[in-house]
Structure 1
Amino acid sequence: MPRARLRRALLAALVAGAVAVPVSGAARPGAVPAPAPAALPPLGSATPAALEERYAATREDILAAGRAAERAGHRRRAGNLREMADPGRRFLSFDGRDGGRTVEVFGDLSRAERVAVLVPGSDTALDTYGRLLDGATRLRAALGGATGLRAAPGETAVIAWLGYRTPATLSTEVLTAARADEGAPALREFVRTLRRLRPDAGIALLCHSYGSVVCGRAAPGLDVNDIVLYGSGGVGVDTVAALRTRATVWAGRAGGDWVAAVPHTRIVLPFAMLGFGADPVTPGFGARIFAAGDGGHSDYLKEGSLSLAGLAAIVSGRAPAEVGGHA
C-alpha cells in the first residue's frame, strides 16, 4: 500500500540520518575510566539506618570514580561526580564504567507510600545526568504540592533509574530494541527489590522516549501500579494487552514533540528489526491518555507544565485533572 511504503521510506530516511550525522564533542562516555564498584550485599530493608548505610557506601564508589576521572584528565566527568558525591545526595547504586549506571532517590524511601521510577531515554549518561536530575527534582516538588495538587497521603519518593546503557539519539541503535533488551532485566530486578522493600507502596514507572521501550520489555508480570509512556515512539507491541501487565497503562505526547513524526511501523532486516510498532497515544493501542500540553520532546517535566501536573497526578494515585492528548 502507498501509505505503508511511505512509512518505510520515512523510517529508511531516519536510519540514513542516524548513520550519516556525525556526533562531536567530548570523549565517548565509555572511554572515561572508572573502577568497579564495591560488591554490596542486597539491601535487606528500607529502614532509615539501612538506607543511610547504603547511601554512604555508594558515595565511596562515586568518589573513587571521580578520582579516576581526574587522574585521566576528564575534568567534566570528575566535576559531575564531585557534585553527585555531595552528602545530601542519596544513591542506591552507582557504577561509573561504560558511561555510567546509577539509581538516585529523592525523598524518604523508608516512609514512601508512593514511588515514581523515572526511566530515561537516549543520550542519558553520567555526563548528561543533569537533565534527569532536574526532571526528578521538579517531579518531587510537584508531588509536594507545587502544582496545586493535594499532597498524596504519606511520603512520596522519586527515583531516577539510570540502570541501562542508553543509545545515542543519532544512531541506528535507537531504532532497535537491543539496548532495551539489555536494560529490561535490570529494571525488573530493581522493581522486585523495591517491591520487597516497600511491599504496600504504589509504584509508577514513568518511561520517557526510548525508556518506554525498556519499560515495554520489562512489563510482563511486573508488580507495579502504573506504567506511563510519554514522548514514546512505540514500545515494540501493538496493544496494551500485548504488554501482559495488570498495571494501568497511560500514554501522553506533547503537541510540539518531534517523535510524532517517527513512522509507527516495524521493518525486519537481516541484521535487526527496526521500529517499535503502534503509536501508544492512538485509540487502538488501548492506553489511558493524559493531557501533555504543547511542549517539546524534552519538556514533559518542565516546571509548571501540564504534562508535569498530569504525571504527578498519576503518581499520586489520582486521574489527571484533564484527559486528552495529541494523537
Structure 2
Amino acid sequence: MARLTEIQVRNLRALEEMDLSPDGQVNLVTGHNGAGKTTLLESIYLLSRGRSFRGSDLRQLVTHGKQAAAISGTVAVGKAGRRLGLTISGRSARARLDGADGARRPEIARLLPVLNLDARLMDLVDRGPERRRLLLNWVTFHVEPGFNAAWRRFRRALRQRNASLRQGAGANAIAAWDGEFCRAALEMEALRKAVAERLRPRFAKIAARLTGMPADWDYHPGWPMEDSLEEILRAGLDGDRKQGNTRFGPQRADLILRLESRRARYIASRGQQKLLASSLMLAAAEVLVKEGANRPVLLVDEPLVELDADHGRELLKAFVERGAQLFIAAVETAPYRRWMEAREIRLKEGALV
C-alpha cells in the first residue's frame, strides 16, 4: 500500500525549511498555537490537490519576503518511490511528478489521496449539500476509473448549458447541450450511486459505534429518477431561464444524513455532528483501503474538541483502525498518548524540535 515517506517544505507560511520522514501509521503533530501545525497538514494537502483548504489566494501561502514556496514528497508504492512536487509563485502553482513538469493533477491525486478533517468538518452535517457531494465525488474518482472522464464531460456540458441560459439563447441552442449533458450525467450517476451504496453500510456501522445511535442517509441523485432527465430538462426550461442555471442533474445530488431516522442537521448536537462527519470521512477512507486504491492520508486538526473523553477515545480508535496514514495536529497531547501509539512531530515557531 502507498504511504508518504518523505516531505520537504520551503517558505510555506511559517514553515521556512522543514524536512520530515513521517511514520507510516500515526503521526501526532504538536506545538503551541502558531507553531505551524496546520501549515504542515496544509502542505500535504497542497501536494495532493494543488490547492489549499485555507483559502484560494495562492499568494498568501508564500512566506513573507520570499519569492516562492516549494513542497516535495516521496510516496512509496510497493517497492518503488514516486516523487511529487509543487512550486507556488504569485498566483500560479506548478506540479511535478518524478521530476517532470506539467504533471496531470488526477494522476498525482490518485498517488496521494488526502482527506482533510479540520474545524469546518461539521459543515458536512449542518450545511448544504456541496461538501457531501464533493466527498462522494472524491471517493468515486478514486475507486471507479471511468468517473473522471464522465465528470469532465458533464462539467463541460453543464457550463455550456448554463452559459446559454444566462445569455438568453434560444431553446434549440440550449437543447443542443442536453444530449451530452444527459449521457454524461447518467454515466457518472451510475458510478456514483454504486459507490454510495458501498459507503452506506460502512457509514452506518461507524456512526452507530461512535454516537451510540442508529444513523443512515437518504441519497438523492439530483432529479426524480422515475422520469427521463432529458424530458425534465425540456419541461423545466422556462424555470432554468429565470434562474440562469440548470436546476436538475448530478450537480444537485445530496446525501441527507439521518440520526435515529431524523435529519441530523436539525437534531444533532455539536459533538454528534462531529462524530457523524468523521464517520463519513472514515467510511470514505475504508472504501479506498478495501477496494485497492492507494491508501489515503487523513489530516486531522484537533479531533477531540467538542467531545467528552469516552467519545474521543472511540473516535481515535476508529481513526487508527481504518488503516489510513494519519497526521493529527493538537496542542494538548496527553489524551493522545494515553489512547494511541504515535510518532510525535514537535514544532516550535515553524521548525522541528
Range into which the TM-score falls when normalised by the shorter chain = under 0.3
Structure with greater Cα Rg: 2
Say which structure is richer in helix. 2
Q: Which has the higher strand share?
A: 2
Name which structure has the greater RCO, CA cutoff 8 Å, separation 6+.
2
With normalisation by structure 1, the TM-score equals: 0.27
